[in-house]
A and B are shown apart, each in its own frame.
Chain A
Amino acid sequence: MQRASDILTVRKPGRLARIAAPVRANLPDRVWAVLLTVLGLAVLAVAGVIIVELWRLSSGVLARTGLVSFVLESEWDVVRDLYGALPFIYGTLITSCVALLLALPVSVGLALFLTEMAPPGVRAVISFPIALLAGIPSVVYGLWGLFVLVPLLRGQVEPWLASTLGFLPFFRGPPIGLGYLAAGVILAIMILPTITSIAIEVLRTVPLSLREAALALGATRWEAIRIAVLPYARAGIMGATILGLGRALGETMAVTMLIGNSPTISASLFSPGYSLPAVIANEFAEASGSLHTGALAALGLILFAVTLLLNIAARLLVRVSRRGPARVAA
């Protein structure tokens, strides 16, 4: 009790000092404060400059075709100066969705195993390669995809999917290997470490008392996870998913190498497609006309808008998850 009050009395002046600090700050302190403020604002300024510059570059082509028809038009013909972004937006969204569908169950399962079930030794052994996956350059993923994944998809996976699930429109057409599926699978592997590591952090915030309460009521381990842990962590896992999605949307190199680079819209995951970052990477270096450059800048603007929206959504969800457990009817 004595201790606690000591800490309290020590703490109070500390907090006061922090509030009072600017008043009696000396010159170095003020210089430091100004410097940090400028650096902080510089980040905002850089983002602002990027938007302004992309807008300036793309204003010509957007004025010509109009933003709505630029987004909804599916013809991309540089020779005739026709620019429509729909196949790229479609490809970006489809590959990211495939990636999420594949990565989410694995990531959450892995995170649950590592936080709830694995003994500490195993946890360290498994966490290390997951962190390693995050550090592999994307071009290496692309190469691996080209030489290992694509032949596998073409030779085994796609024919099998076509023969078993071929009644669905997603699994029709000739097995080429390169296409939405290959890009989606490689993205799933790439976003796995992101989702897993954030999900682990989220699961660690679940109070031990919740698990104990569930177990004390006679729940099995699985039931405790289902009724106590997952509802509490659900919003945080959503946030992790959206951050993973953000990475999938912006991934360039690996997708460019595996998606087939053909601006077509097809329901089949076997068919080659195209994505927003891939077309920018492919065509920007050799874009010569101002309209072509402008159209690529406009694609950049669309990508920027999509990732911005997703980041805002992720922040909101993570904040909700920090505030406490989501109320669920048990």
Chain B
Amino acid sequence: MKNSRVALLSTLALASAALAADKMLITGAGATFPYPLYSKWFSDYNKLHPEVQINYQSIGSGGGIKQITEKTVDFGASDAPMSDEEMARAPGIQHIPTVLGAVVVVYNVPGLDGLELTPETLSGIFLGKITRWSDPAIAKDNKGRKLPDSSIAVAHRSDGSGTTAVFTDYLSKVSPEWKSGPGAGKSVRWPAGLGGKGNEGVTGIVKQTQGAIGYVELAYANQNKLPVAELRNHDGKFVKPSIETVSAAAEKAVLPDDYRVSITDAPGASAYPISAFTYLLVYQDQPDAAKGEALVRFLWWAVHDGQKLAEPLDYAPLPAAAVRKVEQTLTKLTVQGKRVLATSK
């Protein structure tokens, strides 16, 4: 009896040791916006490669950058590219764009469908200069639509977020007054309106307040069936946000080697103007041999097979040109000085 128990215990010990040896745990942390897609990626990749398990904490882009800088995780994730100051603190960091996101303008005006806004009007509203729906500026953009004479309630994010960074980056590009006023950043000093925490907070304000206008991520607006505004893009066309128009915004973008590029207000007839890449952050040279190789192979899978999972979850896949560029970057990644993918592709 005693012997058999000892035997059982030692078998268990051996088994768990074997499991520990086979299973590899890669950890990451960062952006919340791509989390639904990333968790789908990690679980699907785990089914294909049972030995690789990826654990991701969606703690926010800022937290992701902090953790990858301190090397407490194997990869980080961020919606907005890292600043020069942050890059300097994490030498050898590489941005890998994974998918595209968009920020859409949602509103709550009963009976008003297909609101169209020019960049000037949009920035006027968020600057607090246009305060009524019947303002001539809005009426000029929306001839033939019935606009109520009610006040506009502006809703914005109260928490620091990549969504705000992309939205204010766009407003800074199209409005000199915005640029010299609130400026661009993850948290800015809003001249008008109410702050809601997270996409759900902004959605809550917009849904409950008649006459409200706010901005949320595309995926969030689609899933909650909020009415979205069409925006006039760089080429002067009014564009509805969709996966196609977001991908179109990235098509003509010239990508630098570090991928830190803003594609808001992008040229192209069908380009949606408030689009952005979201990134994974990895070190150019991976310190851990086994983990590093698995991570690089996962990234390769993510920008190829993984892209097919993006659309059902309302993320826009990378355009073909961007995928080709990322392929080159991935083959240059090294594990303890040696390239991983150079021979395989």
The answer to whether the Cβ of B193 comes within 8 Å of any Cβ in the partner chain is: yes
Contact call B158/A285, Cβ cutoff below 8 A: no
Q: A178-B194, A260-B194 are in contact. Are A285 and B189 (CB under 8 A)?
A: no
Contact call B62/A261, Cβ cutoff below 8 A: no
**Cross-interface CB contact of B62 among A176, A256, A260, A287, cutoff 8 Å:** A287
Give chain B's interface residue range (CB within 8 Å of chain A).
35 or more
Contacts of A278 in B (CB 8 A): 158
| B140 to A: closest C-beta gap in Å | 26
The answer to whether the Cβ of A77 comes within 8 Å of any Cβ in the partner chain is: yes
Most buried by A among B158, B159, B208: B158
Specify the chain A residue showing the minimal Cβ separation from B66: A288
Contact call A282/B208, Cβ cutoff below 8 A: no
Contacts of B61 in A (CB 8 A): 286
The answer to whether the Cβ of B85 comes within 8 Å of any Cβ in the partner chain is: yes
Contact call A261/B196, Cβ cutoff below 8 A: yes
| A159 to B: closest C-beta gap in Å | 14
The answer to whether the Cβ of B299 comes within 8 Å of any Cβ in the partner chain is: no
The answer to whether the Cβ of B151 comes within 8 Å of any Cβ in the partner chain is: yes
Please report the C-alpha to C-alpha distance between residue A256 and residue B194 in the assembled complex, in whole angstroms.
Answer: 11
Contacts of A286 in B (CB 8 A): 60-63, 159-162, 186-187
Please report the C-alpha to C-alpha distance between residue A263 and residue B156 in the assembled complex, in whole angstroms.
Answer: 13
The answer to whether the Cβ of A76 comes within 8 Å of any Cβ in the partner chain is: yes
The answer to whether the Cβ of B86 comes within 8 Å of any Cβ in the partner chain is: yes
Most buried by B among A79, A80, A154, A289: A79
The answer to whether the Cβ of B130 comes within 8 Å of any Cβ in the partner chain is: no
Q: A282-B160, A287-B62, A288-B86 are in contact. Are A79 and B197 (CB under 8 A)?
A: no
Q: Type the 1/0 row for A154-177, where 1 means its CB is closer than 8 Å to any CB of B.
A: 100000000000000000001011
Contact call B209/A288, Cβ cutoff below 8 A: no
The answer to whether the Cβ of B254 comes within 8 Å of any Cβ in the partner chain is: no
Closest 9 CB pairs of A and B: A286-B160, A261-B195, A261-B158, A285-B60, A286-B62, A79-B183, A77-B189, A282-B159, A79-B185
* Sampled A-B contacts (8; CB under 8 Å): A77-B182, A78-B185, A80-B189, A154-B209, A178-B194, A278-B158, A285-B63, A286-B62
Residues of B that sit less than 8 Å from A by CB? 59-63, 65-66, 83, 85-86, 151, 153, 158-162, 182-190, 193-197, 201, 204-205, 208-209
Residues of A that sit less than 8 Å from B by CB? 75-80, 146-147, 150-151, 154, 174, 176-178, 256-257, 260-263, 272, 274, 278, 281-289, 292
